[in-house]
Amino acid sequence: MGRPTCSAWRAAAVPLLLAVVLTEVGGLSDVKVQMPQSASPGDDVYMRCLYNLDNDQLYTVKWYKGRQEFFRYVPKELPNTKVFPLPGVNVDVSLSDAHQVVLKSVRLNMAGKFRCEVSTDQPNFHTEMVAGDLHVAYLPVDESPLLLAEKQRYSVGDVLRANCTVRGAHPAANITWYLNDVKINSSSERSFPTPLMLRAPNPNKLLTGGFSAAQEDEARRMTVVSALELEMGADSFQYGKARLQCRGSVWALWERSQQLVLEEERPRLSPVIGSGDSSAGWSRTDSLCAWFVVLHAAFLAR
């Protein structure tokens, strides 16, 4: 049996080289962060950092708010966890580990970008960082915006006056108006963002001018009132109806709408034109009588 040829050695070495390359390519991968998009003040927030080590060994997992590190996990150290002081950040160490960090009773100032950095040990020393955004907000205290119009029935040329109120949100809610599903130009409205007062504006009373706030609560919740003034045109009504809608939103966390169906005031018959003196002009009844006499005379003449 002869010695293996050079080509035979090359053919046998290819699978081995591929195996070595695949082993080197493997390691830290699929790094991603899972966290809630929003939270209310006082909530506990769970943030997870997921990753696949494959054949690598974990070196550290670090968590940052902005550029400031506030939590670190090192498997080769005892204790494994370390917390770095950061105003407003309260880490529940008993629930935090290599894959998650838990923030207790978050505050409004905890909103922002959070980053998870994963590093592997030698020989690769591979590092990847992923990030997610957290919004901390008070959602409005009412299920939907409070909508009030000056009256129910309108004629062409009348001015529609209405208020839309969203109470108790932080940050202040945005309010958008629609008529028959068409957005109303913002020049037709005025918004008055005010603190949620001990004596808040009455949402059942139409607001035609600005008002001043007495005080805000400790949570800085805000009430927003948008006052709409819009002249009704012939195209404002569809089959005698006009659908007025106001939509309130707080970022992408909360969006609700309220709608009123307004009615067109049907025009009345024109009043009789003429003075009280019968010699000054004919009424409509006089005209009908005259035509009747002419027709009757024509009939008799046949």
Asked if residues 162 and 225 have their Cβ atoms less than 8 Å apart, the reply is no
Asked if 54 and 31 count as a contact pair (C-beta separation under 8 A), the reply is no
Domains defined for the chain, CATH in brackets: 26-136 (2.60.40.10), 146-264 (2.60.40.10)
Decide: helix, strand or coil at residue 289: helix
Q: Provide, rounded to the nearest whole percent, the portion of the chain with pLDDT above 70.
A: 69
Q: Which residue, among 125, 136, 118, has the nearest Cα to 37 in the 3D structure?
A: 136
Task: Give residue 88's pLDDT.
Answer: 87
**Spatial separation of the C-alpha atoms in residues 180 and 240, rounded to whole Å:** 12
Tell me the pLDDT tens digit for each residue of 249-290: 998 889 999 999 999 997 544 454 444 444 434 444 444 444
Q: Under DSSP, is residue 57 helix (H, G, I), strand (E, B) or coil?
A: coil
Tens digits of residue pLDDT in 27-83:
899 999 999 988 989 999 999 999 999 889 999 999 999 999 999 999 999 999 999
Partners of residue 238 on adjacent β-strands: 241
Q: 3-state DSSP call for residue 301? A: helix
DSSP assignment of 175-207 equals: EEEEETTEEPPGGGEEEEEEE--TT---TTS--
Gap between the Cα atoms of 219 and 140, Å rounded: 12
Report the C-alpha gap between 73 and 23 in whole angstroms. Answer: 26
pTM: 0.61
